[in-house]
């Protein structure tokens, strides 16, 4: 069946080609009619293409490993709008090309929430890119030609959902602010952006101290945006302190 296998592969029916002997044996055993056989082939090919498409989107998203929301301790933050966060996890904001901004100090789960939003979008069929602000600006800033910069800007502008993590931990020069402004402007009212930051917008001038575009950047980000502020003590710090604390029996002895 090698010639037939090759022809099936050439037609894009790779799953059928890979399992042709098994398909023929199954059809013979169950005495399928030609229509039943075709229905089986269509179903299995669709399932396989859906699986491969999901794998490609996950790989291209650069999401990596993350903690699922089922492990999130909703009772730990002193302030969090759970209903609004869960609405974001349902991707309610995507249809209107709205943004989601998560503002919280370190260790309160803003990156975890952003990762879960990104994963939900991938599962829903959206092309997602998860990256840090530092990685994005390093990539854009390293382009040596106008054409190369335009190509990378288009790369970030055309993803169905762009997730920018960790804005506020580093300061950037005016050119970096201009580059980020270009990304935000190209996505403005066209495609959604999820952003995490440890600083309220009133303190963003410390991130871009010499940038004339900082105000315009914030204006485009917050317009049509859901802004979630999470307050409380660092969850990671609590876990670390619990690990360092000696068992009661040991301290008593």
Per-residue pLDDT reduced to its tens digit, 197-221:
999 998 988 898 877 788 899 999 9
DSSP state of 160: S
pLDDT at residue 26 in the model: 94
pLDDT at residue 242 in the model: 63
- Considering the domain architecture, whether residues 181 and 204 belong to the same structural domain is answered as yes
Angle (CA) 207-202-211 rounded to 5° is: 40
**Six token digits for residue 183:** 């990304």
**Residue 155 belongs to some domain of the structure:** yes
Q: Could you tell me the CATH number of the domain that includes residue 92?
A: 3.40.50.300
Q: What is the pTM of this model?
A: 0.84
**Residues in contact with 36: Cβ distance below 8 Å, sequence separation at least 6, in sequence order:** 27, 30
- Considering the domain architecture, whether residues 40 and 16 belong to the same structural domain is answered as yes
**Residue 64 belongs to some domain of the structure:** no
Instruction: Tell me the per-residue pLDDT of 113-165, one tens digit each, with 9 for 90 and over.
Output: 999 999 999 999 999 999 999 999 999 999 999 999 999 999 999 999 999 99
- Considering the domain architecture, whether residues 223 and 159 belong to the same structural domain is answered as yes
Whole-angstrom Cα distance, residue 147 to residue 60? 23
Q: How does DSSP assign 2-59, residue by residue?
A: HHHHHHHHHTT-HHHHHTHHHHHHHHHHHT--HHHHHHHHHHHHHHHHHHHHHHHHHH
In the chain, the number of structural domains is 2
135-138: long-range contacts at Cβ-Cβ below 8 A with a sequence spacing of 24 or more? 136/164, 136/180, 136/183, 137/172, 137/176, 137/179, 137/180
**In the chain, what percentage of residues exceed pLDDT 70?**
92
Whole-angstrom Cα distance, residue 48 to residue 56? 12
Beta 161-167 vs 128-132: how paired, if at all? parallel
**Residue 35 belongs to some domain of the structure:** yes
């Amino acid at each position: 069946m090698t010639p037939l296998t090759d022809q099936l592969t050439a037609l894009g029916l790779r799953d059928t080609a890979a399992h042709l002997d098994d398909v023929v044996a199954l059809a013979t055993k169950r005495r399928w009619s030609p229509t039943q056989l075709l229905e089986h082939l269509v179903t299995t090919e669709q399932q396989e293409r859906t699986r491969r498409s999901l794998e490609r989107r996950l790989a291209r998203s650069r999401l990596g490993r993350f903690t699922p929301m089922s492990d999130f301790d909703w009772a730990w933050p002193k302030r969090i709008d759970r209903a609004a966060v869960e609405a974001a996890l349902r991707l309610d904001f995507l249809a209107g090309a709205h943004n989601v901004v998560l503002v919280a100090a370190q260790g309160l789960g803003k990156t975890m929430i952003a990762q879960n939003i990104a994963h939900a979008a991938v599962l829903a069929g959206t092309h997602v890119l998860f990256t840090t602000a530092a990685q994005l600006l390093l990539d854009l800033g390293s382009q040596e030609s106008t054409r190369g910069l335009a190509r990378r800007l288009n790369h970030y502008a055309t993803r169905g959902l762009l997730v920018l993590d960790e804005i506020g931990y580093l300061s950037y020069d005016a050119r970096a602010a201009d580059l980020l402004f270009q990304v935000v402007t190209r996505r403005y009212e066209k495609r959604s952006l999820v952003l995490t930051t440890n600083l309220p917008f009133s303190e963003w001038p410390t991130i871009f101290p010499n940038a004339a575009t900082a105000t315009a950047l914030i204006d485009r980000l917050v317009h049509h945006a859901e802004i979630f502020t999470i307050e409380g003590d660092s969850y990671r710090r609590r876990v670390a302190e619990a690990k360092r604390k000696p068992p009661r029996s040991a301290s008593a002895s």
